[in-house]
Structure 1
């Protein structure tokens, strides 16, 4: 629960330094990888080269100027957080597979069509830009939309309600003209055919 509160504070700009820092870091990463066409492996290697060279020079120079060499801490990845993360990731992936299986089973046509439409829209957006740009756009939207909604909530809510009402009306028309025309077999027939 504490992490969610911190994320909400960041996205709602309640701590302006952290929010601006997160947005700045995301912008620098996007500029490096998209505009300057830098690659992640190249960046990691260059940062490691720089860090190792500085530490090596500092360690060797320390003996000449009679100063103590730098204390380089021993870094180890703890076992428990990694296992907790892997277990949580495994749970979420399995839950996603269960949802996909439920959608593909053919029980809920409305859910099936909404997922297909969402994936289709996502594929169109994906053809316009790559994953990093899409991730950056979502990150910027997460940093702007909540604070704008909080500021203009009284104006946004009536518009959202009208839009939702219009979507429901259009879906009802689509359901009456298209979905209701699709023949459906009774559930008993499906079970009997599986037994044969």
Structure 2
């Protein structure tokens, strides 16, 4: 309990900005979802998801893991490609600004 309170205090005082933004994003997402539905519907849907997802994963674990790894590889390739393109554009932009100066 003390650890939870300590982390909460660090977030509130701004000592852990990254965690603050994560908490803010999750609270925003929760408020958006809560605004779209009422509490009872959200509770029933959450209960169904919490009870079925682990059973489905246990049954189809090999297939799910294979597709998740394929998706991870494709996202990683896309990230690397995007990173390389953005970095090269930023470098070109910086060089152009230096030439103009």
TM above 0.5, yes or no, is yes
- 2:24 maps to 116
- List per-residue Cα deviations over 1:63-120 (Å, max 9, x = no partner): xxxxxxxxxxxxxxxxxxxxxxxxxxxx4xx665433222223233322222111111
Give the match for residue 40 of structure 2.
132
Structure 1: runs of 5+ lacking an equivalent: 1-90, 174-196
In 1, Cα distance between equivalents of 2:37 and 2:31: 10
C-alpha distance in 1 between matches for 2:38 and 2:3? 26
Between the aligned partners of 1:164 and 1:131, the Cα distance in structure 2 is 38
Q: Look up the match of 1:105.
A: 13
Residues 121-152 of structure 1 show CA distances to partners (whole Å, capped at 9, x for unaligned) of 11100001122221111110011101110111
Q: Where does 1:25-174 land on structure 2 (aligned, <5 Å)? A: 91=1, 96-161=4-69, 162-163=71-72, 166=75, 169=79
Q: How many residues align?
A: 78
Shift of 1:164: 9.0
Greater fraction helix: 2
TM-score (norm 1): 0.33
Using the size of structure 2 for normalisation, the TM-score is 0.58
Gaps of 5+ in 2: 84-101
2-structure distance, mates of 1:124, 1:140: 20
Say if 1:136 and 1:119 are closer, same or farther in 2 by CA, change over 3 A: same
* Structure of greater Rg: 1
Structure 1 runs of 4+ off > 6 angstroms? none
CA-based RMSD: 3.0
Cα 1:122–1:165 change in 2 (3 A) is farther
